[in-house]
Amino acid sequence: QVQLVESGGGLVQPGGSLRLSCAASGFTLDYYGIAWSRQAPGKEREGVSCISSSDGTTYYADSVKGRFTISRDNAKNTVYLQMNSLKPEDTAVYYCARAACFAVAAGDLPGFGSWGQGTQVTVSS
């Protein structure tokens, strides 16, 4: 059974930080790339970040570059998204999925059924 579970979301002030976790089960994480996407109210799903399995290459959307950092801990079978300097426009449900990062970087996100249940991030004062 392949499963991805997102956690770590919450309510933070603008300028604050959160670390999201994507815990994988049913497969060995180090064989797969993992992507983060988000969907804000009234907006389209957006690819946020991706980390490859082959060489650790990372991708970041322009909107989060310099503020977010993706990492993996293969021993824990978990991928993290460290989010710093959060802005109200970062408010969204954040999802993770297995992905080919070259495709994510090109705007080709995995299908709807590939993503976990999501975790809510709210940035507000």
Reported as a single tens digit per residue, the pLDDT across 29-80 is 878 899 999 999 999 999 999 999 877 899 999 999 999 999 999 889 999 9
- Residue 46 CA to residue 72 CA, distance in Å, equals 21
What is the pLDDT confidence band of residue 115, given thresholds at 50, 70 and 90? confident
What pLDDT is recorded for position 27? 85
What is the pLDDT confidence band of residue 5, given thresholds at 50, 70 and 90? very high
- Three-state secondary structure call for residue 62: coil
Give the pairing of strands 58-60 and 10-12.
unpaired
